[in-house]
Homo-oligomer: A and B are copies of this chain.
């Protein structure tokens, strides 16, 4: 049990967070609209707004919507101070961008660059990139930005903020990018494992908006899995939860990057598919080319070798997590409808039918950029006030 004096200020903090989230979600609004929509009384909203303006989260605009009675002054996110930065680190490309606190990413305010070869190079490139984006900012970054969110690949230990191992980007191994960046630029930096970032982003601003029980399975070079259950991101004890790719499905199968044999990741990814088709064609092809290869269009049997294992992954996720929605993300499934259909058909066979019926399966674009941004925004919101779920912890279900 956590010790914490339950002070009265808690209530006002909770309400402040509510007001801010209302504006984040619904755009500029007057106090009266917020009061009605957020289930608070008008004076309460007013007080929260005063505090939020003082802390430069909100600002009052002149604009006032036309209507019947007295027009209300709209409140919007502070243009000067309600901004964050997002950084996505990937094996080949990195991205940096700025966003408002509502997650709107300024596309003109973003850059991409090839991932440097060394850790120091990467750190410096990120620092330079941040400077480039915020070039017009005089003085300290912290005058306009409240923090930086990072999406990092590989196994990331969130308890200590360290990338433990990144199979596709070894320069991160053992490094603490968020901490190092924070030391350099003096802004708080929050890193999330990329699959977790995907989840947080989709939940806050994407297809999973408002959903409390969903999973995202990301099929690309590896298998990434992010889970939100009961409204909480499943992180595990150290943030390493979701490593579906390394469960054994072929007891004496092919060797995997993790050192083991027969991991799901060796047979149910883009890479595995490309390798298979390459062998079929007798020459090395990439994923894109593999998908359009005649062998693929010709025979179900060839794609079955990858797709049926993918179905095992899908059904494992549904069986184990019982999500209300499962988002599938990845070239393989989103390019060829035949493949998606087969995944669905096979997964249906392999999944417990009540859980399968209970789960909507959707294709998803996903977006690590939104994820990085959402990560820091979520953190800022939690800093403001704890998320408060007044319905208990969902352990039990009433039947009376």
Interface residues of A (CB under 8 A from B): 1-6, 8, 10-11, 14-15, 18, 21, 25, 38-40, 155, 157-159, 161, 164-165, 176, 178-179, 182, 187-192, 196, 200, 210, 213, 225, 229-244, 246-249, 251, 258, 260, 308, 312, 315-316, 319-324, 349-352, 354-355, 358-359, 375-376, 378-379, 382-383, 386-400
Contacts and interface: CB of A to CB of B under 8 A. Distances in A.
B158 A247 contact: no
Copies in the complex: 2
A237 B324 contact: yes
Contact of A243 (B11, B200, B319): B319
Given A11-B11, A322-B239, A179 B399 contact: yes
Contacts of A246: 315, 319, 350-352
A399 B178 contact: yes
Given A14-B6, A232-B395, A358 B213 contact: no
Given A10-B11, A382-B392, A39 B3 contact: yes
Given A165-B354, A400-B189, A322 B394 contact: no
A379 B398 CA distance: 8
A316 B10 CA distance: 40
A383 B178 CA distance: 41
Given A190-B398, A396-B379, A234 B321 contact: yes
Nearest to A183: B400
